[in-house]
Chain A
């Protein structure tokens, strides 16, 4: 079974600075997706960024980018120019491309932005 580990329960960053959230996963598959979701206090799960395992190029969405290291099974999220609205829980998630497309989530990292 796949597992996703987020080893940082909490992180904080000064507004306008850069922060990196860590995620590692375990799988025996070679074809899968990885995701970062943001959950603000409203509880809405918002997709931030996703990465296909067979693509070597790291995904980027505006201020959000990932460092995908397939051999190391590592998938970190970098947030540049942090803004107050970035404060939220961030969840890393895994999804196989075979069969059922359920998501396996990590336990989350609570990000605080310091004004």
Chain B
């Protein structure tokens, strides 16, 4: 069973461009979480999605950021008109369900560099 797959591993964008980060959860997992890690900091929660639904987006910046998890295909984190401050590592985690004892498994992250 393959782990959580994120791609690309590294992404370079110029200011003003769009960044699309993909996350394929583990097989059988229908819950996806996105986190952002700024340099020398811990991970910060961004958004929690189930298939076709956004459950909690309290950690998402109000503008330029959006996320989706369609019925088919990977979850996408989209950043429009990127700025230098968006440079960070973005991690995806997935879990099979909710509830006591559920463990989330992390991907290896996408490092976004805005130049």
- Name A's B-contacting residues (CB within 8 A): 4, 42-45, 47, 50, 52, 91, 97, 100-108
Contacts and interface: CB of A to CB of B under 8 A. Distances in A.
Nearest to A100: B56
B95 A106 contact: no
B23 to A, nearest CB: 13
Contact of B45 (A43, A91, A104, A108): A104
B37 to A, nearest CB: 8
Interface in B74-115: 89, 91, 93, 95, 98, 100, 102-104, 106, 108-109, 111
B69 interface: no
B108 A108 contact: no
B17 to A, nearest CB: 23
A101 B33 CA distance: 9
Most buried by B among A4, A43, A52, A97: A43
Given A45-B109, A102-B45, 8 more contacts: A44-B109, A45-B91, A45-B93, A101-B31, A101-B104, A103-B45, A105-B35, A105-B44
Contacts of A91: 42-43
30 contacts: A42-B108, A43-B89, A43-B108, A43-B109, A44-B108, A44-B109, A45-B91, A45-B93, A52-B100, A100-B48, A101-B31, A101-B95, A101-B98, A101-B102, A101-B104, A102-B33, A102-B48, A102-B56, A103-B33, A103-B35, A103-B43, A103-B93, A103-B104, A105-B35, A105-B42, A105-B43, A105-B44, A107-B41, A108-B41, A108-B42
B55 interface: yes
B91 to A, nearest CB: 7
Given A42-B108, A47-B103, A100 B44 contact: no
